[in-house]
Amino acid sequence: MSNAIDHVFSTLQLRHVMANYRPDNLRSARLLERLGFENEGLARAYLKIDGA
């Protein structure tokens, strides 16, 4: 994953990469944090699963 992120920034010269995850998925949150992602907020109405 970190190699792909490095490629995006160095070779493709993109300025931003965005990742979404469910707030209750702490493993995903920790992974993104280790990869250098910064939490910019929640999209509260972004995703509905089973009506919730």
Tens digit of each residue's pLDDT, the chain (52 residues): 889 888 988 999 889 889 988 888 999 999 999 999 999 888 777 767 776 5
Mean residue pLDDT across the chain: 86
- Domain housing 27: 2-34
User: Is position 43 within any domain?
Assistant: no
28 domain residue, yes or no: yes
- For residues 17-46, one letter each, b for 16 or more C-beta atoms within 10 angstroms of the residue's C-beta and e for the rest, the string is eeeeeeeeeeeebeebeeeeeeeeeeeeee
**Residue 44 lies inside a defined structural domain of this protein:** no
Answer whether residue 41 is part of any domain. Answer: no
Residue 23: inside a domain, yes or no?
A: yes
Residue 18 falls inside a structural domain: yes
